[in-house]
Structure 1
Amino acid sequence: MERTPAYRDARRHVERKIGFYIHLAVYLAVNTGLVLFNLLAVPAKMWAFWPVMGWGIGLLFHGLAVFLRAPGSAWKERMIENELNKQKKE
């Protein structure tokens, strides 16, 4: 298959999705373990809430970056095109 810019963009996007799914799987495994450990060791104090929430916020932003098109992405693409055009003229 020809390695066109569209192909490279699609491949990069698929790799970012796979990275997110790996991140999600690790998040679920580790935090399930933390919550279980918390409930078995110190059920009176729910300390596992904090790492679950902190990491969850990071996971949320990772997901937003992967699955939502950032409003500035079109602007960034225009800047890249302008830069490529400048390089062609030189």
Structure 2
Amino acid sequence: MNTTHTTDLSRDLDRQARRTVKTRLGWLTHAAVYLAVIGGLSLLAYTNGRHLPVGAALGWGLALAIHGLRVLVTGSGLRERMVQAERQRLQGQQGPHSA
């Protein structure tokens, strides 16, 4: 393996690792803000004798869950494995004379 290819591979891996970490930290930030806001709204409702903000918690909770699923799919390498499998399937359909 030549040095240029190794350096390019190293850069690609570093870029992918940074993207994955950024995605995970984005979800953690989303979750922390969710907990702070819903906690604050709940405390405010409790101290004023009102109902807890169930609708807000459920609506935003759904968005947080969807965000979490996206992080799980991208962070676990599932997307990359699916792309690789599709690439292999398509190469198998082309036959030996296509290149």
Q: Which position in structure 2 is the counterpart of 1:40? A: 47
Distance in 1 separating the partners of 2:69 and 2:59: 16
Q: TM-score, normalised by structure 2?
A: 0.63
Q: Which position in structure 1 is the counterpart of 2:37? A: 30
Q: TM-score, normalised by structure 1?
A: 0.68
Give every structure 1 segment of 4 or more consecutive aligned residues whose post-TM-superposition deviation is greater than 4 Å. 69-73, 75-79
Cα displacement (A) at 1:71? 5.6
What is the identity percentage for the equivalent residue pairs of Structure 1 and Structure 2?
31
Cα displacement (A) at 1:6? 1.7
* 2:72 matches 1:67: yes
Give 2:33's aligned amino acid. Answer: V
Q: Which runs of 5+ in 1 are unaligned?
A: 83-90
Task: Pick the aligned partner of 2:59 from 39, 54, 68.
Answer: 54
Q: CA RMSD in A?
A: 2.4
Cα displacement (A) at 1:76? 4.5
Q: Which runs of 5+ in 2 are unaligned?
A: 1-6, 91-99
